[in-house]
Structure 1
Amino acid sequence: MTDNYIRESYIFNPGSLGHIEGLTITSHGSLAVHYFGGLPYALPPVGQWRFRVPRRLPKDYRYGTATEPGKFTDGTKVCPQPPSSSTPDPSVTSEDCLQLNIWVPAGPPPKMDGHCASISTGVSSKLVRVTQSQKTWLNVFGFLASRELAAEASSNGEATGNYGLWDQRLALEWTHEKIKSFGGDPSNITLFRVPEEKAIIRQVAMFSNSTGVRPKSLPDQQLQCDELLTRLGINRELSNEEKLASLRAVPHHRLVQAQTGMEISEFRVLADDTFYPVELMDEINNGEFAERMKIRGIRLINGECESEHIMYRRWRTPRESYSAAYQRLLADFSSEVTQKIMDHYCGSSQNLPAWYNNWEDFFGRIYANIQVHHLQRGFHNALFAGGLEAGKNVFRYRLERRLDCVVEKIPPEWGVTHLTDIPIWLWGCGYQGGLSDQEKKWLKGWDESFAAFVNGDEVDWGTKNPRDMRRWRSDGDTDVWEDGVWEDGVEFWRLVNSGLEGAEEKANH
């Protein structure tokens, strides 16, 4: 929120949740919204509860009373993070970050005809918007996995690993159960991330993202945990209980420091066969996943920025060698997947391919292919083969221009790179400059289509064939582009997401 907004205290009674204090926010006479920031949706994941699945709030939990309303006028805390291009200020970081921000239209909700996110606080004339804490339970706090943690979880009757996914699921369940108290519709939830296995979702917007590859198994994750223990000076010969007690006693800032500089630096999803089914990629490939989406009526918006690699080549990039690039990919992916990727690009020579400037450029481009370009196309191909239809269930896009306001956070020389599409969908939310009048004219059709998507209405996207992508061109015009790298993506998907040893991975749990 910027200084352009007028904020006034607002007391609200959402029924059984108790009384809460938020803010009424207006800007230049536009539709007012009520804002509530930092509402917990789970109990604090600290102390003995670090590295465990999140716990639901008690059924009788109250945020405040009539005489002492709970004060929620700030925002969610941010999970402690290693240094990055957007490292949060230490004053807003906390392990106790399982919280939500909620924006609610002020006054009676009229029908939403457009401008899904035209108010920069992120609320339409009908939409109740809920956002989870930024970077909630990522890195070591959300995805550390090991045999020690698995044994403890088994004895407690809990799942192990993927805490950063379980907390997102719990946030969705809280929203589904409680949002009616704020005027929201629990039967029409749009998720702005990767879809979870939950029937409450109707729309999914995966901005500049893909499904990736099958995650690492527990033995893969154990190597990372052992490296972390060594860096923290925790004796690996201790009992399981002693090692976990030592890990939970480490201050969070030391955990963050230890992660910086680790060889296996990326804490990622575990193929646990509980939250993440080991056979998920097989089900995507054989059409079962698409069939379930169709039965549930789930629709997908998914696309790309033209220069995703510019951002990615700045993300813990490797030194200038084949082995460094291999090790950097191994931090994210299993050894089997990593070897397939490096063989695909470098062959047996292990030399830098001629069309890359250096190993940093190589890493940025292939990482962008994995995270977005190639695997997104392979995923779409599987969805279409499974019965979903372009322009009806799946809405593909490509952006070759960015908003002028993006310069506030991302240098202009980085071009239309990863994350530059977010303010388009949220109509400038989070950017002081917002959209210019010309940009609003250019994007009017996109805004109306996205509003229809969020509302669950029919969407006039303009695409008819699997290779069609709605495109915002560099000159500001919009057209439908026939995907020129479709075959490359489908081929790469088949390389990394077919024929993996799923049964063997399952046996290692």
Structure 2
Amino acid sequence: METSRHPYLKSLASRGYVQGVTLHSKATNEPLCHYFGGVRYALCPSGRWRRAQNLPQSYSYGTKDQPGRCDGNTGICPQPSFMDLSSTDGWTEDCFQSNVWVPLGEPPKDGWPVLFFIHGGFLQFGHPNAFSATALLGDAALNAIVVVPAYRLNVFGFLYSSELEQDASSTNETVGNHGFWDQRQALEWTRDNIDLFGGNASQITISGYSAGAYSAFYQLAYDLQVPDDQSIVKRVCIWSNSPAAQPKTPSSAQVQFDQLLAALKIPASLPWSEKLSRLRATPSDTLLSTAMGVELNQFRPTSDSTFIQSTLFQSFDTGAFARKLSARNVRIMLGECRDERNLYATWFPPQNNLPSLHERLLADYPRPVVDTLIKLYYPDGRLPADCDNWDTDAFGRIYADMQVHKMQRGLIHSIASGGASHLLSRYRVEYRLKCADKTIPPSWGVTHATDQYIWFWGNGELIDPEEKPIIRRALIDPFIKFVHGEADIQWGTTDHRDIRTLKPDGSVQIVKDAFWDDAIRVWKALREVGEPDHASAAKL
């Protein structure tokens, strides 16, 4: 959808003024929504791997005569390239801004509900500027404020070590998981400031796609820990991802940190402060390229016992997580695409043999989990008959199962077993919009990320007129009801094994989950492995 931009000055009361834009359709000149790009939610920290700083009470975006310029984009955390989904433009480690879309007109009495969306990218790449909520507000009539934050990624957002523990202790901060803390900070900024844009801070839906969905889950898990009066999350959308295993231990994170030091030729014998000083002095592009070249090159969360409790996955087994969810009455929409594996197969694929596949999976999951997976999937060590090769086909299937298909069903199983299945709305997408062809090869089918064009009503691209009623009826109308907090979203499912399915012909069917039993078999086998202990983690 092509748009024109018209300056729009907005007063944010004690926060001063911002200069945004009103977006109009170029075809009709009709106004669609207001947009504020690069709205700061936190101040840059004093150094790498420290917590960003809250905006002080006195912080002002600008004056009426010199308003803060919020008509562009957020900064982008330095990141590796992947297809056309990452960017080298606007790289900065000061990426603590959000893009905000606001409906036209006066807000309702209690304010508009809020959709807080976290972008994906394996936690290694991605940015808010690849998303557009313009048509979702202006054409699909979401009538909600959409907030999309930038946050630290890869080595900048998820490095952890004993040296960083000592550094954090010296400044009385938490250690590690900085990308998650950035997201939480943006979420708290939204709670505290969204009323200035006409939003309702008591009606926030947190959502995310892929690694953003993974993030949305961990934001929910953290939110369930805080006292009721500090809770923010009312509803959650987990689109094409799920927690797979208890995040790595501090000791396994240390192995990755030591690999990085060695690659940068920083002596391990140096004091912790000197190691960090040299790391912080390393140019961002050098740090990034070196980090992506070490053996454990996927920088992911750590069970730090603050943001992520070491007992989180045990709480799935005991039902404690489900009981907390039920007590807060947090509803969850979650699901998958039919052909997730075809895009997943392209992310750091292994060589065409089983040992290489095993090593590749160790970059994401603990060794006991990977060893168990290999035995489950390849008990005789041979390529399955339905797989063409190890490097794309077998890898894509097992990776998609871990990232989405099987582990999401495991999460559903744990929530249902804990008595909270009434909070779940499951979906499956088997239908592909034509506009997805611009970025994702049609031969990949309904693969990972193709449905972002559904959820974001084209995401800046035009949807064919005949496709609009299909996706509106199937997903968008119920999704809008969900964001607005309506009790009955007319989803149609009655059991946690029911899936609202958008079929290839555009029809909507409530289908019993045909993949349930095999998924739960894998989930239970991995849960029997338990959490990686320090000894096994150290062998990574």
**TM beyond 0.5:** yes
Helix, strand or coil at the partner of 1:443? helix
What are the within-5 Å matches in structure 2 for residues 99-498 of structure 1? Answer: 99-109=97-107, 119-120=134-135, 122=137, 124=141, 126-133=143-150, 136-193=151-208, 194-195=216-217, 196=219, 197-198=222-223, 199-347=231-379, 349-360=380-391, 361-389=393-421, 392-430=422-460, 432=461, 434-445=462-473, 446-457=475-486, 458-498=488-528
Change (3 A) 1:419 1:87: closer
Amino acid of the residue matched to residue 103 of structure 2? P
For 1:499 and 1:325, the matched residues in 2 are separated by: 20
Question: C-alpha offsets along residues 50-104 of structure 1, whole Å, 9 cap, x if unaligned?
Answer: 1122221222111111221111110111111112123534222211111101111
Q: Aligned-pair distance for 1:354?
A: 3.1
For 1:246 and 1:254, the matched residues in 2 are separated by: 12
Change (3 A) 1:412 1:479: same
Change (3 A) 1:162 1:307: same
Helix, strand or coil at the partner of 1:228? helix
Q: Are positions 1:20 and 2:52 aligned together?
A: no
Partner of 2:49: 51
Q: Aligned-pair distance for 1:106?
A: 2.0
Change (3 A) 1:256 1:366: same
Change (3 A) 1:478 1:501: closer
Amino acid of the residue matched to residue 494 of structure 1? K
Partner of 2:227: none
Amino acid of the residue matched to residue 85 of structure 1? M
For 1:174 and 1:113, the matched residues in 2 are separated by: 16
Q: 8 Å contact 2:238–2:333 — kept in the other structure?
A: yes
Q: 8 Å contact 2:248–2:532 — kept in the other structure?
A: no
Question: C-alpha offsets along residues 241-261 of structure 1, whole Å, 9 cap, x if unaligned?
Answer: 110000000111111211233
For 1:155 and 1:110, the matched residues in 2 are separated by: 47
Q: 8 Å contact 1:82–1:259 — kept in the other structure?
A: no
Q: 8 Å contact 2:246–2:531 — kept in the other structure?
A: no
Change (3 A) 1:75 1:122: farther
Question: C-alpha offsets along residues 471-500 of structure 1, whole Å, 9 cap, x if unaligned?
Answer: 111111111111101011111111223441
Amino acid of the residue matched to residue 150 of structure 1? E
For 1:82 and 1:125, the matched residues in 2 are separated by: 33
For 2:454 and 2:505, the matched residues in 1 are separated by: 16
Q: 8 Å contact 2:101–2:134 — kept in the other structure?
A: no
Q: 8 Å contact 2:101–2:133 — kept in the other structure?
A: no
Q: Aligned-pair distance for 1:505?
A: 8.6
Q: Aligned-pair distance for 1:150?
A: 1.1
Helix, strand or coil at the partner of 1:167? helix
Change (3 A) 1:31 1:293: farther
Question: C-alpha offsets along residues 305-364 of structure 1, whole Å, 9 cap, x if unaligned?
Answer: 0110000110000012222111111111111111111121123x4333333211121111
Change (3 A) 1:159 1:505: farther
Amino acid of the residue matched to residue 81 of structure 1? Q
What are the within-5 Å matches in structure 2 for residues 83-98 of structure 1? Answer: 83-86=81-84, 88-98=86-96
Amino acid of the residue matched to residue 127 of structure 1? A
Helix, strand or coil at the partner of 1:52? coil
**Stretch deviating more after TM superposition (266-275 or 379-388):** 379-388
Q: Aligned-pair distance for 1:37?
A: 0.5
For 1:243 and 1:92, the matched residues in 2 are separated by: 28
For 1:94 and 1:323, the matched residues in 2 are separated by: 37
What is the aligned length?
A: 496
**Stretch deviating more after TM superposition (305-314 or 233-242):** 233-242
Q: 8 Å contact 1:307–1:415 — kept in the other structure?
A: yes
Change (3 A) 1:25 1:87: closer
Helix, strand or coil at the partner of 2:202? coil
Helix, strand or coil at the partner of 2:378? helix
Helix, strand or coil at the partner of 1:185? strand
Partner of 1:11: 9
- Percent sequence identity is 38
Q: Aligned-pair distance for 1:159?
A: 1.2
Q: 8 Å contact 2:165–2:175 — kept in the other structure?
A: yes
Q: 8 Å contact 1:214–1:497 — kept in the other structure?
A: no
**Stretch deviating more after TM superposition (191-200 or 175-184):** 191-200
Q: Aligned-pair distance for 1:507?
A: 12
Amino acid of the residue matched to residue 6 of structure 2? E
Q: 8 Å contact 1:15–1:181 — kept in the other structure?
A: yes
Q: Aligned-pair distance for 1:292?
A: 1.1
Q: Pairwise CA RMSD of aligned residues?
A: 2.3
Q: Aligned-pair distance for 1:172?
A: 0.4
Q: Are positions 1:35 and 2:64 aligned together?
A: no
Q: 8 Å contact 1:301–1:395 — kept in the other structure?
A: yes
Question: C-alpha offsets along residues 206-247 of structure 1, whole Å, 9 cap, x if unaligned?
Answer: 111112211110111111111111212222221111100000
Q: 8 Å contact 1:81–1:87 — kept in the other structure?
A: no
Amino acid of the residue matched to residue 305 of structure 1? C
Partner of 2:125: none
TM norm structure 2: 0.88
Helix, strand or coil at the partner of 2:135? coil
Q: Aligned-pair distance for 1:36?
A: 0.7
Deviating above 4 A after TM superposition, structure 1's stretches of 4 or more consecutive aligned residues are: 110-114, 116-119, 502-508
For 2:287 and 2:82, the matched residues in 1 are separated by: 16
